[in-house]
Amino acid sequence: MSFVEYRELIQDGDTAIVFLGHDSMFPVAIKHGSQTQTKYGVIRHSADLIGKRYGSKVTCSKGGWVYILYPTPELWTMNLPHRTQILYSADISIITMMLELKPGSVVCESGTGSGSLSHAIIRTVAPTGHLYTVEFHQQRAEKAAEEFRQHKVDHLVTVKNQDVCKNGFGVSHVADAVFLDIPSPWEAIGHAKCALKVEGGRVCSFSPCIEQVQRTCLSLEEHGFTEINTLEILLRVYDVRTVSLPVPDLGRPGDEKSAAGSDSSELSKQTSACELYKSGVPPRETVGHTGYLTFATLSLF
Amino acid sequence: MEASAPVGGQLISEGDYVVLKREEVFKAVQVQRRKKVIFEKQWIYLDNAIGKNYGTTFEISAGGNLQQKKKEITAAEPKEAGADNRNIIDDGKSQKLTRDDIEALKEKGIKGQEIVQQLIENSTTFRDKTEFAQAKYIKKKKKKYEAVITILRPSTRILSMMYYAREPGKICQLRYDTLAQMLTLGNIHANSKIIVMETCAGLVLGAIMERMGGFGSVIQLYPGGGPVRAATDCFGFQQSFYKALYEFPLNKIQSLVSGTFSSRTAHSDQELALDEESNGSVIEKQDPVTDMDEESSPATESEAMMDINQKETQEGAEGSEVPLGHDKGQNPDKKLFAIEKKRKQDERRRKESEAASLLQDRNADGLIIASRFHPTPMLLSLLEFVAPSRPFVVYCQYREPLLECYTKLRENGGVINMKLSETWLRNYQVLPDRSHPKLIMSGGGGFILHGITVSRDSSASNIRSREKSEEPAPKKIKVEESGS
């Protein structure tokens, strides 16, 4: 297994996703001889998982079953251990496209945080690109580096433990794109400019508050960035349901004979009439704001 | 590695596909010498852009020629400004220059910048305006009189924004943030095998190809006589990207599923008809890029495609020997043409059978659908060709067909974690003391249904292997909590 290339079979050392149904899943590190407890009973890795095909049904000891899924950055985002607030796939998608990331891109990122975006970037820039990620919190930096090793993508990423606002990204004029998710991004814009290739590139900064955006935009302008554009993306998820609405009883037409073929027959009177239809129902509560995304271009010419 | 090199060089060269940008408006064109390009109501010749860097900004001078614009130092702050507009009266006489005066300035070929300066000097109310209003006035006049364009390298970001603004009908109203979701949710990346069915002028295909960087393979299913790739061409991919791009007709999918497909099957009537048509003497090739403002039916677009194919094969055939015809009365041109046609058909047939065998492996790593057709029957058939534990994404302009699709897939099984979603996009104006949302975009961006495939063979994987393994005795190991 590797986060940047699909494999068919489950192997020792893989990270897999155990899917229990109804949005309930968790990641598991596959290891010879170990076992995983689920509400449907135990899964023994050697007998039940290793050598099986990803996507297959696995019966647990109590007779219930789960699916074992191949880990994609999107599934990882939904299941990773949070060390910080993380970015979700809706924001990650637009960031990836607006930064024009593709195989071969060199990207600088700070902070690494829980590595949610990092995994998505690595997936996109592999096999020939590279991610330089900077995290000033030592434990978080170490944990991220360890995860990259576990997921067999450590050759595509360099983790640095330093303060990006003071010391920058530790590389200069190599990046096609820079991403900032830090409390004071305006202090890192100069370093972002240094990290970008001489011929220019794209930057993105993620901030929850408009005041942060304001200062970042001023800083971007001062440093000569163009095409400065702030946007926000909101994900709306719909539950698919069959809805039935009762038809109101407006009383029976008295002596008046209704037209032939009309619905007011004896039958419809006896059954309580309902209209059925399919609907995409928005959840009662949903995420209303994650953060503002500010994009800009650095161009020499 | 060839594929890791950036597409094209740093400099704009003849034959490149580029994107012109003025303010927020984009247009994709191919650079050709001495060719008039119309952009934002102006004629332009791109000759002077050749040899310049991508990202260069040009001014349009007399005769539509481009002149590189120097990076300007921001003008000094205006000296005087009013506090509010209590004394500004709209009498229509604040501008001392008449329309004729302005026309005369333009006739003389005076730079836009100077015209703007003249307008400011001849505006009696300018000095009374607030700083913000002054800035707004200058911006408005600049937009009108200073024709400045930037030449950019094409990318999914730019092309998807361009198409959504200029040609939303051709891409089923697929908004660019929705396309971004599809690429991510579909886990599109290098070294995978992706099936795509789209009727979005080839924009979705191009976006997928960009994300794969020439590594892996793409099988495009197409309705009718051939895939439409007008937007794909705009990306200007290097030739190597097309090596692992296959196409397969949608109307042969059923035979592939049932196993009755044979690559020897004659081409459908429609294809033949298209061939016949494009065999006309010289068909004006429709350039879908420059004819952006014209409505063209899918049929004519695929015709254009055919023409391109034909051109390529003609170039290819030029070097090949032409056997002498025994038939003395036969026109050698016709003879040559028949040979070409044969070659073309053989080539297409070969590619098609390659695509068929790739599909028949039934191990694709993903499926992306974005078309004007009903998604349900396509999904139910095409998921057959996708390996288990792989993502699929279906786009639809409308929500209702996806509701049905969701229900059908549920009944059918073989998929889990399905989600029906939509994204909203909000742009902001961020300026000191003037920050607010620009415009809300909602509706018209389309809907997405995505999920993950799983194995359908329930019996085989359920049988517990009775082999001896290194299982430890199931006993609880107490983990000592460290008091950190």
Residues of B in contact with A43 (CB under 8 A): none
Mean pLDDT confidence for B16-39: 94
Strand partners, A96: none
Mutate to test the interface with B, among A1, A6, A226 (most CBs of B within 10 A): A6
Residues of A in contact with B157 (CB under 8 A): 97-98, 100
Alpha helices in B186-331 (DSSP H): 203-212, 230-234, 253-258, 269-278, 298-318
- Is residue B456's pLDDT more than 90? no
**Predicted TM-score of the model (pTM):** 0.84
Could you check whether the bond before residue B55 is cis, i.e. omega within 30 degrees of 0? no
Q: Do B283 and B234 meet the contact criterion of CB atoms below 8 Å apart?
A: no
Torsion angle in degrees (nearest 10) through CA of B337, B343, B349, B353 = -170
Alpha-carbon separation of residue B172 from A142, B202, B381 (angstroms): 46, 12, 22
φ/ψ of B455, rounded to 5, equals -65, 145
CA gap A271, B290 in Å, rounded: 63
What is the pLDDT at residue B439? 73
Dihedral sign, Cα of residue B181, residue B183, residue B188, residue B189? negative
CA gap B390, A86 in Å, rounded: 24
What is the pLDDT at residue B483? 39
With H, G, I as helix, E, B as strand and everything else as coil, classify residue B1: coil
Of A44, A55, A297, the CB nearest to B454: A55
CA gap A225, A202 in Å, rounded: 9
With H, G, I as helix, E, B as strand and everything else as coil, classify residue A68: strand
Strand partners, B422: A236
Which pair of tokens denotes residue B129?
């305006």
The Cα angle at residue A267 between residues A262 and A268, in degrees rounded to 5? 60
What is the pLDDT at residue A256? 55
In angstroms, how far is CA B449 from the centroid of its own chain? Answer: 21
First to last CA, chain A: 44
For the segment B373-418, what is each residue's pLDDT rounded down to a tens digit?
A: 999 999 999 999 999 999 999 999 999 999 999 999 999 999 999 9
What is the pLDDT at residue B269? 42
| Neighbour order of strands in the sheet with A65-69 | A24-29, A15-21, A65-69, A57-59
Would you place residue B279 in the very low, low, confident or very high pLDDT band (cuts 50, 70, 90)? very low
B208 to chain A: closest CA residue: A102
B52 to chain A: closest CA residue: A301
What is the pLDDT at residue B328? 53
Question: A138: buried, middle or exposed (CB in 10 Å: 19+, 13-18, 0-12)?
Answer: exposed
- Is residue B321's pLDDT more than 60? no
A102 to chain B: closest CA residue: B211
What is the pLDDT at residue B73? 52
DSSP secondary-structure letter at B155?
-
Would you place residue B280 in the very low, low, confident or very high pLDDT band (cuts 50, 70, 90)? very low
Contact A35 B471 (CB under 8 A): yes
Look at A170 and B40; give whichever has higher pLDDT.
Answer: A170
Q: Do B415 and B390 meet the contact criterion of CB atoms below 8 Å apart?
A: no
Q: Do B190 and A103 meet the contact criterion of CB atoms below 8 Å apart?
A: yes
Q: Considering only A154-158, B249-253, B337-341, which range has the smallest mean pLDDT?
A: B337-341
In angstroms, how far is CA A58 from the centroid of its own chain? Answer: 26
- Is residue B291's pLDDT more than 60? no
Alpha helices in B188-229 (DSSP H): 203-212
Mean pLDDT confidence for B244-258: 94
Per-residue pLDDT in tens (0 to 9) along chain A, 301 residues: 789 999 999 999 999 999 998 889 999 999 999 999 999 999 999 999 999 999 999 999 888 899 999 999 999 999 999 999 999 999 999 999 999 999 999 999 999 999 999 999 999 999 999 999 999 999 999 999 999 999 999 999 999 999 999 999 999 999 999 999 999 999 999 999 999 999 999 999 999 999 999 999 999 999 999 999 999 999 999 999 999 999 998 887 765 555 555 554 555 455 568 889 999 999 988 888 999 999 999 988 7
In 10 A of CB A133, how many CB atoms?
Answer: 27
Contact A236 B423 (CB under 8 A): yes
DSSP secondary-structure letter at A47?
I
Contact B213 A232 (CB under 8 A): no
For the segment B42-64, what is each residue's pLDDT rounded down to a tens digit?
A: 889 999 999 999 999 998 887 78
Which pair of tokens denotes residue B55?
């990202």
What is the pLDDT at residue B263? 62
Contact B388 A55 (CB under 8 A): yes
In 10 A of CB A214, how many CB atoms?
Answer: 20
Look at B65 and A131; give whichever has higher pLDDT.
Answer: A131
For the segment B157-181, what is each residue's pLDDT rounded down to a tens digit?
A: 999 999 999 999 999 999 999 999 9
